[in-house]
Amino acid sequence: MAETMTALSEPILDQLNQHEKFVILNTIDSETGCITSSAISWITPHSPTKLRIAIDARSRLIANVKADKRVTLSLFAGGSFYAVQGTATVIHDRLEEVPIKLACLEVEVEAVRDAMYYGSRISAMPEVEKTYDKRAADKLDAQVFAALQKA
């Protein structure tokens, strides 16, 4: 079994600094108490122990984090699959520099585990294709990531 790390490794940081990324954010539903999973892409490392995430300000994820700060982020990086556990806080209810209503979460990393099963590796990363105007998507992505860096 792989050792638990307390900070993001270089392969994870490299993946999170890519333009296109695919990350699963797991929270505890504030109403049902069940685990929820949501695909996100607006995430960036603030440091090896902190992540910033932009989420629709009306999303249930905001209520979930306010009720229970524990989160797990799941992602592919460096040929493996990782589970990043931590505590999330809403640090901005609204990112002002962005034309849509987004909140900013900060995740304090507590544990990073290689969650890939023994004797295997990821040979191809998942690809995500934007289904709306690529130029508009790229412009919005740039605004969101600039706001996350300032947050």
DSSP annotation string for 22-83: -EEEEEE-TTT--EEEEEE--EEEEETTEEEEEEETTSHHHHHHHH--EEEEEEEETTEEEE
pLDDT band at 20 (very low <50, low <70, confident <90, very high): confident
**Number of compact structural domains in the chain:** 1
Any domain includes 56: yes
Q: Region 55-61: what's the mean pLDDT?
A: 96
Tell me what pLDDT residue 6 has.
94
**Residue 2 falls inside a structural domain:** no
On whether residue 114 sits in a domain, the answer given is: yes
Q: Is residue 23 assigned to a domain?
A: yes
Look at residues 132, 150, 133, 129 and name the one whose alpha carbon lies nearest to residue 41: 129
CB of 75 within 8 A of CB of 41? no
pLDDT of residue 2: 65
pLDDT at position 142, please?
93
> Could you tell me how far CA 151 lies from the centroid of its own chain?
15
pTM across the whole model: 0.93
Structure tokens at 31: 């109403």
Q: Does any domain span residue 31? A: yes
pLDDT of 89: 98
H helix or E strand, kind and range, residue 105:
strand 102-114
Q: Is residue 1 part of a domain?
A: no
| 141 domain residue, yes or no | yes
Residues 41-51, mean pLDDT to the nearest whole number? 97
Taking the C-alpha atoms of residue 132 and residue 70, their distance in angstroms, rounded to an integer, is: 33
- Give, in degrees to the nearest 5, the angle at Cα 33 between 83 and 151: 55
> Which tens digits make up the pLDDT trace of 86-123?
999 999 999 999 999 999 999 999 999 999 999 999 99
Question: What does the alpha-carbon distance between residue 129 and residue 96 come to, in Å, rounded to a whole number?
Answer: 27
pLDDT at 31: 96
Residue 5 forms part of a structural domain:
no
**CATH at 29:** 2.30.110.10
Could you tell me the residue range of the domain that residue 66 belongs to? 10-150
Task: Give residue 125's pLDDT.
Answer: 86
